[in-house]
Structures are given as structure tokens and as C-alpha cells.
Amino acid sequence: DILAEAPNVQMLVTSRIPLDLQEEWRYTLQGMTLPEPLAGAIDEAALTTLQQNSSVALFVQTGQRVDHQFALTAQNQRDVVAICRYLHGLPLALELAATGLAQMRCRELATALIRPDSSTCQTAPLPVRSGEAPLDLLQTSLRNMPARHRAMRNVFAYSWQLLTEQEQQAAMQFALFRGSADRAALAAVTGKAQSTLTELVHKSLVQRDGNGRFAMHELLRQFCLEQLAVLQEPALTTVTRQRHAIYYLQALHESD
């Protein structure tokens, strides 16, 4: 009916899962621009450039809403950069993280949020973290925000419900990887069919880069590890880790 009345109409539809229509053109949305890791001292010119980075700007702007005195400074810029890079420029995660500045300093937030074992952990040392899991910090009580967006766990839980049991298991196994992996490694370690990996990409839980490697957002990885712990199937974890070790030991041996 729409095309009949307005034949030149164009639609922009956003979804976790493609519509699978012949007419659709797919564009994968990436996170906001990430700041480069900082090395050495930073001068005023570099600080000004950093303020213009989209991830940093969103984090600072949201932080100022809960603490009007918050600003990007030479003292906190390394922590701000570390937080933005850890969150991969994910807008909702940046906003939720910044609301934590109402209760803690930027350094404390970075320490509480960034896991030492994460695939994106910065080389600059942070104090040993304890207490809440990173996902516990990424939530808000704002009344005018949709319930599904008040916590990163809510976002991931919705996507999790869209997966089959085999896809959920594959996602939990994928979470045991740190960083990216190629298709052969994932198939060997998870023991799942290629079609299962394809579905994880199709449903936006795993991203494929231009080099043919697959990666999972660090926050989603933490969520999947939580689901693995809830599942309470140590055999799955043990078998997956064994396959992982064997695969990469063989790859290392063959490269010699």
C-alpha cells in the first residue's frame, strides 16, 4: 500500500537480525570512533583533539549530566580512553558507564569496569579490581529510559532468547576465546557446524572483520561467560578448553 501511494519511498530499518528480503541492502553498524591508546605525556593540543573523539565526547557529556564538575583533564584522560576502548564505542554502554561518575571517580570506575583478563585490557596497569562484575555497573534507574535499555544485561538477554540451544552453547564456547579467531579455529574448538557460526553472525552476536576473523564484543563475552556459569556444566568448559589448547598447540607446531 505504501509503495502504491508513494513509489519513491525509502525505509531505514534497524534490527539485530536482517529481514532476509531480496530488496534489502545491509549495512553493519559499528561503534563510535575509538580514541587511540595514549603513550607518553599529553599536551593541551592533544587533549583538545581527544575531546573531539565521538566516544570520549559522549562519555564526558553524559558524565557531566550526573556530575556537573566532571571534565576531561590530563589527570583522568588515560582512564577515559581506557573505558571508551573497553566498551568498543558502544553508545548505550558509554552512557550507562558514565552515570557511574555520580558515585565514583573516573579512576575508580575504570578499575571497577575493566577486567584484567579481557581481550581489550589496556597495557597501562590498573589497581586490582574487586566486588561487582562489569555488567553490574552498566545499568541505570532513569525512569524515562525504556526498561530494555536500563541495563546492558537486558539488551543481551533479549538477544539470548532469540538463539536456539545449539547457538547458545556455541556462543558460550566462543566466549572462552580471548580476542578474535578464524572460522577453522572456531569449528575445531566448539565442535559446531559452520551453519551455527553463520547464525551467530546473522543474529549480530559475532562480527566478522575484513580479514575473515570473528570476534565478540567484550561485554557480550562477559554475559556469555555468566550464562556458562549458570548452566553449571563443567564438562562443556573443560572439553572446550582442551580443544582450544590442542588446536593452537598443533598450529604452533605446524608453523615451526
Q: Does domain 162-255 have CATH number 1.20.120?
A: no
Q: Give CA separation, 45 vs 50, 52, 71, 95, in Å.
A: 9, 11, 16, 26
CB 170 within 8 A of CB 190: yes
Q: What is the pLDDT of residue 117?
A: 61
CB 107 within 8 A of CB 76: yes
Residue 227 CB burial class (10 angstroms; 0-12, 13-18, ≥19): middle
For residue 60, the surrounding DSSP H or E stretch is: helix 54-66
Q: What is the pLDDT of residue 118?
A: 59
Q: Give CA separation, 215 vs 112, 176, 209, 252, in Å.
A: 24, 11, 8, 21
Q: What is the pLDDT of residue 21?
A: 87
Rg (CA), the chain: 20
For each of the chain's 256 residues, which pLDDT tens digit applies?
787 889 888 877 778 888 888 888 888 888 899 999 887 777 788 898 999 999 999 999 999 999 999 999 999 999 999 999 999 999 999 999 999 999 999 999 999 999 766 555 443 444 444 456 889 999 998 899 988 999 999 999 999 999 999 999 999 999 999 989 999 999 999 999 999 999 999 999 999 988 999 999 999 999 999 999 998 888 999 999 999 999 999 999 998 7
Q: What is the pLDDT of residue 119?
A: 55
Q: What is the pLDDT of residue 256?
A: 75
Which residues of 115-244 form beta strands (DSSP E)?
181-182, 207-208, 213-215
Q: What is the pLDDT of residue 131?
A: 55
Q: Break the chain into its structural domains and give their ranges.
A: 44-149, 162-255
Q: Which amino acid is at 80?
A: V
Residue in 153, 157, 71 with CA at minimum distance from that of residue 106? 71
Q: What is the pLDDT of residue 17?
A: 87
